[in-house]
Structure 1
C-alpha cells in the first residue's frame, strides 16, 4: 500500500465533518431515545471516551475510503 498519495488534510477534514454530523444527529435524537428507553440523563455517567473512539473510527473510515477510491480509480485518490 502506498500511503504517499493520500491527501491527509482531506482525510482529517472528512473525519471531522463526519464526526460533527454524527454528533448533531445523535444530539437531536437523544431526548426521544432517552424517553423511550426510560433513562434519566441526570443519573447517567458522562465520559469523553465514546467521543474519542468515534472520532478515531471516523479517521479510519476516511482513510480506508480514500485507499479504496484510489484502488478503484487506478491511481491517486483525486476526483480531478
Structure 2
C-alpha cells in the first residue's frame, strides 16, 4: 500500500457541498471521495491514450495488409 500523505486543498463552497453529497451518498469520507475521483480520472485518461494507440496500430495494420495483398497479387499474376 502507498504511503498516505496529508494534503490541504481549497474548494469553492459549491464544490465543497458536492463533495459532502458524494461522501454522504457513498457512505465514506471526503478523502475517500477525492481518492476515488482521482483514480477514476486517471483510468479515463489511460483508456483514452490506449484508444489512440489502438487506432494507430489498426491504421498501421491496414497499411501493412494493403502492401502484403498487393505483393501477393503480383506473385499470383506472375505464376499464372
Bigger relative CO (Cα 8 Å, ≥ 6 apart): 1
TM-score by length of 2: 0.37
Structure with the larger helix share: 2
TM-score by length of 1: 0.37
